[in-house]
């Protein structure tokens, strides 16, 4: 009798725990949803004034202004560049907030997608005489084609931008048991050990002025991490033994 009472109490306790666990999960997902909505609304609101400024700037830039001095032209150039940067940031924030609604049950031919990214980034690589190498097994996975393209694109674009002249970028993809493993390695400047984990934070840049010079807004890897998260995968960064950086992405769920 005493034993069954103890069991009964344990079951009660477990029930209580599961109720509070469910409540907590509910609150957490509500908080996430509120944050997502806020980001989406803020980005939407910012889009209109930015687009208006862009129209005015385009109009101004397309007209000849013989009376303008060098200082005015320099100011206009700077404003145009900053407006462009803001536009990129707002677009990325909007994309991120819309991830939850994107379909993730498409069959993706990983090797073909990597080839497409490499072909699209070839002109950028040529500017720095960088060799792009694809070493992918013929594999498929389930996910959002457009998001996985963006993920690989962001990683390869960074591998080119933060590389040395005449460097190399290698993309590998293979299946290990039920997992799809994708790696992007470069022969670039590398990332200091104490900052490696922080590169996934929004707006974080190792060298602010250099990234800005290269056209970055500090959201590429935050976006990559978010894409991996919605596909229930993982993304990590490690130093390349021969100098440079390697980003490893692993997908378990949904791969076929
Ligand atoms: P950004 O738009 O500045 O490139 P990201 O989120 O894509 O923003 O990257 C964050 C920062 O991480 C970059 O500013 C850069 O300092 C560093 N980083 C990203 N990829 C690499 C890489 N392959 N090699 C060296 N540093 C990198």
Structure confidence by residue, pLDDT tens digits, 114-124: 999 999 999 99
Phi-psi region of 192 (alpha: psi -120 to 50; beta: other; left: phi over 0): beta
Closest ligand 1 atom number to CA of residue 221: 6
Would you say the C-alpha torsion 208, 210, 215, 220 has a positive or negative sign? negative
In 3D space, the residue among 191, 176, 164, 188 whose CA is nearest the CA of residue 139 turns out to be 176
The DSSP output letter for 130 is P
CB 118, CB 134: distance < 8 Å: yes
> Given a cut of 70, is residue 1 above it in pLDDT?
no
What's residue 143's pLDDT?
A: 93
Judge residue 97's burial from the number of C-beta atoms within 10 Å of its C-beta, 0-12 exposed, 13-18 middle, 19 or more buried: buried
Ligand 1 centroid distance, CA of 236 (Å): 13
Helix axes 220-230, 145-161, angle to 10 degrees: 150
State the DSSP H helix or E strand holding residue 6, giving kind and residue range, or none if neither.
helix 2-62
SS3 at position 156: helix
ipTM, 2 dp = 0.98
Ligand 1 centroid distance, CA of 159 (Å): 8
Ligand 1 centroid distance, CA of 152 (Å): 14
Ligand 1 centroid distance, CA of 208 (Å): 10
CA-proximal residue: ligand 1, atom 2 (nearest): 216
pLDDT in tens, 45-86: 898 899 999 999 988 888 877 787 888 888 888 899 888 888
> Given a cut of 80, is residue 253 above it in pLDDT?
no
**Cα 93 → chain centroid:** 11
What's residue 255's pLDDT?
A: 44
Mean pLDDT along residues 230-256 = 88
Closest ligand 1 atom number to CA of residue 247: 23
Beta bridge partners of 69: none
Please indicate whether residue 31 or residue 219 has the higher confidence score (pLDDT).
Answer: 219
């Amino acid at each position: 009798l005493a034993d069954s009472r103890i069991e009964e109490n344990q079951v009660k306790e477990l029930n209580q725990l599961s109720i509070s666990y469910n409540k907590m999960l509910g609150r957490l997902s509500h908080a996430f949803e509120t944050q997502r909505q806020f980001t989406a609304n803020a980005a939407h609101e910012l889009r209109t004034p930015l687009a208006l400024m862009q129209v005015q700037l385009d109009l101004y830039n397309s007209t000849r202004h013989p009376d303008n001095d060098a200082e005015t032209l320099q100011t206009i150039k700077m404003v145009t560049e900053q407006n462009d940067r803001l536009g990129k940031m707002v677009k990325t924030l909007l994309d991120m907030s819309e991830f939850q609604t994107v379909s993730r049950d498409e069959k993706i031919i990983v090797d073909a997608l990597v080839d497409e990214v490499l072909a699209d980034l070839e002109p950028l690589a040529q500017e720095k005489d960088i060799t792009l190498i694809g070493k992918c097994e013929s594999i498929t996975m389930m996910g959002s084609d457009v998001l996985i393209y963006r993920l690989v694109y962001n990683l390869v674009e960074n591998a080119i931008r933060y590389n040395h002249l005449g460097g190399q970028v290698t993309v590998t993809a293979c299946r290990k048991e039920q997992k799809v493993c994708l790696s992007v390695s470069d022969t670039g400047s590398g990332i200091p050990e104490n900052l490696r984990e922080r590169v996934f934070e929004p707006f974080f840049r190792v060298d602010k002025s250099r990234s800005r010079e290269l056209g970055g807004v500090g959201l590429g890897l935050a976006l990559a991490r978010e894409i991996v998260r919605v596909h229930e995968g993982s993304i990590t960064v490690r130093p390349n033994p021969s100098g440079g950086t390697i980003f490893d992405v692993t997908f378990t769920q949904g791969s076929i």
